[in-house]
Amino acid sequence: MLAIDLKGKRALVAGVADDAGFGFAIAKALAEADASIVLGTWPPAMNIFETLLRRGKIDESRKLSDGRMLEFEKIYPLDAAFDTMADVPEEIRNNKRYTERGDFSVQGMADSIRKDFGDKAIDVVVHSLANGPEVKKPLLETSRSGYLAAVSVSAYSLVSLLQRLGPLMRPGSSAISLTYMASERVVPGYGGGMSSAKAALESDTRLLAYEAGRKLGIRVNTISAGPLASRAASAIGLIEKMVAYYKEHSPLAQELAAEEVGNVAAFLCSPLASGITGATVYVDKGYHSMGIPALPG
């Protein structure tokens, strides 16, 4: 039997704060393949997430197919907008949701991982990070600061993660991110510079695959996923309509399940995908292949 086997591997999944999104589904799929999981979580969301875990509120979601539970070796505070603490504005430094978390920068997380697990501690990096503070604004109405914030957190953060975690990754390691088809086609309502950020993420994936591949032996890919009505996506405001539209017009007339993205991510991070890097892999029920909406009947 050809199986995905990640036993003895450790994965960092950056961007998990609940059990509803693609990041959690990817963490669960990696755990199904026997990887150990550490998380990077946005500091303002950590208290709620840790409370949900402690009180067993997401135990049902954490159940694996063999009866085990999805466990997290560590949950690190991570605000991917900041490479180091020197970059953090004073108002955030003094925000009580941040002050109790110590060093929550990308470098701080990398330093904590090295301290906890040693110099070569990571086999998989999952970038499940996206934020556009003006995502509801058309591009024509987006401010410079809103645009740059979207690109910073949603795209450049992958560069920052690999800069700082690359030296901690073992030979043959893999990094994946999550993109969306707005990178290449117009999706009205997906604004605030987020479409530009996704285009940058896909371009960076190709270049990082070359540079990290030559320098560190790391594979870098991205998954272009269809819409999912997660809590984070609901902030866009039209996610339910998008899910319904994709279902109606995709070659496979079905709603996308988060675990389908998780399974592809586990494959891409496994030795079975050792020949794949620099790729954008579509997991959207085939919607990306359509030139016009599906014909009725």
Q: Which of 98, 147, 190, 246 is catalytic?
A: 190
The alpha-helical segments, DSSP class H, found in the chain are 22-32, 43-54, 59-62, 90-93, 96-99, 106-117, 144-151, 157-165, 194-216, 231-234, 239-249, 258-268
Residue 129 to residue 273: CA distance in whole angstroms: 23
180 belongs to the catalytic site: yes
Measured in whole angstroms, the distance separating CA 107 from the mean position of its chain's CA atoms is 18
| Helices vs. strands in the chain: H and E counts, helices first | 12, 7
The two three-digit tokens of residue 293, written as one number: 């909406």
Per annotation, catalytic residue among 180, 245, 282, 287: 180
**Catalytic-residue membership of 287:** no
CA distances (Å), origin 95, targets 91, 100, 101, 102, 267 = 6, 9, 11, 12, 40
Catalytic residues: 180, 190
